[in-house]
Structure 1
């Protein structure tokens, strides 16, 4: 029996030499990313600091730096998965005009704050502009097959076709943003039909203007298309 003035024995906390409880590094890294999205959305993608992220996630800043050695590394981790998802569209069967934008909107709604940071805010700073450019390049690559020049086309015609694909890009991005935010007054079904009609009209008009020969729709087994 322990006397009133005798200190109780300490509660055992594990024998010396036993490993410490395992820290789920992946879960902690994801928590930092989730906090970063919220902070970047609230304070601005280019204004928020690593300390802001640390405050939001409730973690010492030095622990965040062990996961992401710099603010650039944190931003890279945020946007790299998105570009992978966009790129993966090219590996899936094409389901007709409007199907691509429907897929993009579905992706965006799963993580709206993160996608909107890329689509709307990433162009304004040196840390993020390369990711916006990479996104534009991927979207353009998904569009180019509709106005692809023949294999024997001269360089100037190839350049004109590439320009036409880039010219359609702002329409894709604005429709994507509006679909994520549901800010265009359309139902999802109406938006898909509307965008598909616009894409088909753009393809027809572009091929006519550039005097491109008749060509089938992009093959479903290699469908890099909207």
Structure 2
């Protein structure tokens, strides 16, 4: 079994395309993925830019991701880049992970419009919501953002946030940690203590992850 962690960056469909926006609000403009082998060791990476078909890159997207119109103009359209991703995943049994289900929803919506012959069960049969698995392991009722999940692990984000490949690599670190239950519990014990407070508990996770501390008050 192989394990792929994927992240997408997206750009909103221009309001000039009203009919398209009824079913497709965004377009993928970058794929980033890392493949882990059966031992969860990093084996390969995948990254490409995608040229949007329904409007130019918005300024706020460039500010967030660093992706410019010039970068995507040098890439292929979605149909070719998605097929390149599928080919890179390969035929070996593979689970594909993302942080939340937003990425698979995006791919399914975009495939319906641009690759109507693609069998969406290829995605459904492989996809795992790592964010939900992480939250379930901790007993959280609210989902954590990737940077806060890393903060709870006492791990700094490596690279640049909202860069698809860096996001995928950092997400894969969470997947790797979750394979060792004893190490996971030891690493996450400060979080577990907050979720199951004792009367004499005086420590706070606020400095580590303020949003998680706020969430713990709701539990």
Please indicate the TM-score interval, normalised by the length of the shorter structure: under 0.3
Larger radius of gyration: 1
Q: Which has the higher strand share?
A: 2
TM-score by length of 1: 0.26
Q: Which has the higher helix share?
A: 1
TM-score by length of 2: 0.27
If asked which structure has higher relative contact order (CA below 8 Å, sep 6+), I would say 1
